[in-house]
Structure 1
Amino acid sequence: MNAKAPIVFYYGAGRLDELRHYRRVVLQPEFYRLADLRLLRIDGTEPLAYLSLSEDQGPPAPWQRPERNPDRGGAFVYAGHPEWSAHVVGQARAALEAGFAGLFLDTLNVELTYPEDLPHLLRLVATLRAAAGRAYILANRGFGLLPGLAEHVDGILFESFSAHWTGGGYGPWPADILAGHARIAEDLPNYDLDLFALDYADTPGLADFARRRAALFGMHCVISDRALSWI
């Protein structure tokens, strides 16, 4: 049997036969039942449950800020609000009890929007680590939380490391942003974590550029579309 690919990010439903070809799969918890997750785990695939730590797609709640994410529509949150922390930890525990093998922590990059929330986010990540025990935790970016973040997670994903959705299509970042991303990536191996890149590309040339560039920095690169609908 061929070795499993390291990881894939899939935000749709079903497709278990394809997902089992990966060692780890990041999924939306509401789309999978315990029986689905058991089938994946029996076959040696670890499903990770998606969690947002600084944005809320739910109905109005006391932890929500007035501002919303213009791209995704979710409400930004006050990360230090005790009810938000309890809400997120409850989601994590429910996902693990439902059969997920670990967690994927998203929306950690608030250093430019709400820098005052960084210590609150780090405490929330630490609380999630305590709740998850030895379960695998993968963080998306969160560079403003380093080095403390590295104490509580098993891996870091660099989303949109080389290529991204531009609003009218897919393309590489400008040279200055690529250089800034490279400076961050050069530091990541110091934390002894699993390192991945997730890039958005729709042509073989752009995908190859992203894969080769990620490999230079020791990252396995996953290529997908903006909706994360590819496997």
Structure 2
Amino acid sequence: MTEKPPICFYYGDKHLDELATYPRVVLQPEFYTPQELAQLADKGVQTLGYLSLSEDQGPPAPWQRQERNPDWGGAFVEVGHPLWVEHVVGQAKDAMAAGFAGLFMDTLNVELTYPEDVPHLLTLVAAIRTEAKPGYLLANRGFGMLPRLAELVDGVVFESFSARWTDEGYAPWPADVLEFHAQIAEQLLQLELDLYALDYADSPGLTDFAMRRARQFGMQCVVSDRALSRV
């Protein structure tokens, strides 16, 4: 029997019964009511609300840059813009007030796009940490903020650690990227954090590769599809 993953990343709605079989789930806050979150909590599920910290899928706003994410279409933002900070911290407050047990912080790789925003992003994470106490904070990557980030969060997700989606389908990373990721994983192992790998695969062989490689680096692995639609 296949062992149940320790966490589920699910960006759809409904499926409460299936979600209740996981110890921890990452959900889109707008898809779940406080009553549904309470149902999951009663069954021992720790719910984490999704937050995007450097990209905005919303309508035009003063914090948005002209450039957009080529994969998902969201606008990159000026992370230190006071109104963006207010917006994101407000989302964090709302999610915690609705009954989420913590937050999942996404789009933390600003060192690859706007490295000047790294200090602003750390400040934003610290503000979210204040709002989420004593809740659980999970960061997606954010390696440009280490080691300071490790003082603010409870866990780190290494998205696309071994496998990824491309225009041609799902595939392992080339050898040089796998080696680079391995070096980062070695650094993460020195930190007192929960570590997860989130990989993308659509075949048993690629799934097994991702699971085995994650275990080698002390990470619990979750394998899903590009849209994170699997429960």
TM-score under structure 2 normalisation?
0.98
Q: Equivalent residue of 1:156, what SS? A: strand
Instruction: Give yes or no for contact 2:5–2:222 (8 Å, CA) kept in 1.
Output: no
Deviations 1:111-151 (A, max 9, x none): 12100000000000001001111100000000000001001
Partner of residue 24, structure 1: 24
Is the Cα–Cα contact under 8 Å of residues 52 and 106 in structure 2 kept in the other structure? yes
Separation (CA, whole Å) in 1 of partners of 2:113 and 2:32: 33
Equivalenced residues, count: 229
After superposition, the C-alpha distances for 1:148-177 in whole angstroms (9 at most, x for unaligned) are 100100000000000000112000000000
Distance 1:167 1:182 in 2: 24
8 Å contact 2:5–2:221 — kept in the other structure? no
Do 2:197 and 2:219's aligned partners in 1 also have CA atoms closer than 8 Å?
yes
Distance 1:162 1:65 in 2: 31
| Partner residue, 2:126 | 126
Q: What are the within-5 Å matches in structure 2 for residues 213-224 of structure 1?
A: 213-224=213-224
For residues 11-49 of structure 1, the C-alpha deviation after alignment (integer angstroms, 9 at most, x for no partner) is: 000001000111110000010001110000000001100
**TM-score when scaled to structure 1?**
0.98
SS of match in other structure, 1:6? coil
Question: Which amino acid letter does the alignment assign opposite residue 48 of structure 1?
Answer: L
Q: Which residue of the partner structure matches residue 193 of structure 1? A: 193
AA aligned to 2:175 is: A
Q: Which structure 2 residues correspond to residues 92-103 of structure 1 after superposition, within 5 A? A: 92-103=92-103
Counterpart of 1:164 in structure 2 is: 164
Contact 1:4 1:23 in 2 (8 A): no
Q: Runs of 5+ in structure 1 lacking a partner?
A: none
**Secondary structure in 2 aligned to 1:111?**
helix
Structure 2 match to 1:225 = 225
Alpha carbons 2:96, 2:102 under 8 Å: kept? yes
- 8 Å Cα contact 1:5/1:21 also seen in 2: no
Q: How far has the Cα of 1:5 moved from its partner?
A: 4.1
**Root-mean-square deviation (CA), in Å?**
0.9
The aligned residue for residue 81 of structure 1 is 81
What amino acid maps onto 2:150 in structure 1?
A: A
After superposition, residues 35-54 of structure 1 pair within 5 angstroms as 35-54=35-54
Partner letter of residue 225 of structure 1? Answer: D
Distance in structure 1 (CA, Å) of the matches to 2:135 and 2:5: 20
Contiguous gaps of at least 5 residues in structure 2: none
